[in-house]
């Protein structure tokens, strides 16, 4: 049976409410929003993903942490596991922006990278 669900698109700050006509996970039609919204709605029903940002510890850096993020949207159901994994990562300073901090996180093929440089400071 086809049904219509409302999904709020988070792809851009507009945050459109999209009405999606679907049968289970099979999307028949996305009634509102733009092209990217349509992709989001399909993804949201079949394999919801989010960009994840966190921090990892740095040894000898200007700050004790460096911010990191997933290079691509990450499977939503694995986020708690990823958070736990990142809490155990520690890397030495200096850190360069885009440096891979956790390659192929949880076997997803997605790298977690540093979102800024972290200079080394003399101890």
Partner 1 sequence: MKTNYDVIVIGSGPGGLAAAIAAKENGADDVLIIERDVELGGILLQCIHNGFGLQLFNEDMPGPTYAQYYIDKVKAHGVETLMDTMVLDISPQREIFAINKDLGYLDLQAKAIVLAMGCRERTRAQIMLPGARPAGVYTAGTAQRFVNVEGHMPGNKFVILGSGDIGMIMARRLTIEGAQVERVLEIMPYLTGLTRNYVQCLLDYGITLQKHRTVNRIIGRDRVEAIEAVTVDEKWQPVPGTKEIIPCDTLLLSVGLIPENELSKKAGVLLDPITNGPYVDDRFMTNVPGIFAAGNVVQVYDLVDWVTEAGSTAGKGAAQFALAEKLETGEEIPLKAGENIRYVVPHKLDKNHLAEEQVRLQMRAITPMEERVLVTVEDQNGEVVTKKGEPYARPGEIITLAIQPKAYEAVQRATSLTVNVRKR
Question: Does residue number 123 form part of the binding site for partner 1 (CB under 8 A)?
Answer: no
Residue for token pair 């507009």: 14
> Is residue 31 within the footprint of partner 1 (CB under 8 A)?
no
| Nearby residues of 109 by Cβ (< 8 Å), 6 or more positions away | none
Give CA–CA dist 15/7, Å, rounded.
Answer: 10
Cα 46–chain centre separation: 16
- Gap between the Cα atoms of 119 and 41, Å rounded: 40
**Does residue 71 belong to the site contacting partner 1 (CB under 8 A)?**
no
* Contact of residue 50 among partner 1, ligand SF4, none (CB under 5-8 Å per partner type): partner 1
Phi, psi (degrees; rounded to nearest 5) at 86 = -70, -30
Q: Which of residues 69-88 bind ligand SF4 (CB under 6 A)?
A: none
Q: Is 89 near partner 1 (CB under 8 A)? A: no
Site stretch for ligand SF4 (CB under 6 A), options 29-37, 42-50, 71-79, 108-116 = 29-37
**Footprint of ligand SF4 on this chain (CB under 6 A)?**
9, 11-12, 14-16, 33-34, 36-37, 40
């Amino acid at each position: 049976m086809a049904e219509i669900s409302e999904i709020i698109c988070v792809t851009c700050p507009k945050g459109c409410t999209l009405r999606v006509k679907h049968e289970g996970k099979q999307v028949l039609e996305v009634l509102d929003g733009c092209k990217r919204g349509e992709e989001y709605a399909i993804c949201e029903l079949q394999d919801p993903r989010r960009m994840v940002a966190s921090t990892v510890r740095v040894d000898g850096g200007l700050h004790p942490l460096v911010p990191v993020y997933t290079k691509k949207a990450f499977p939503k159901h694995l986020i708690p596991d990823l958070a736990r994994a990142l809490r155990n990562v520690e890397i030495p300073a200096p850190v360069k922006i885009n440096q891979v901090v956790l390659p192929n996180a949880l076997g997803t093929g997605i790298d977690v990278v540093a979102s800024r440089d972290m200079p080394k400071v003399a101890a």
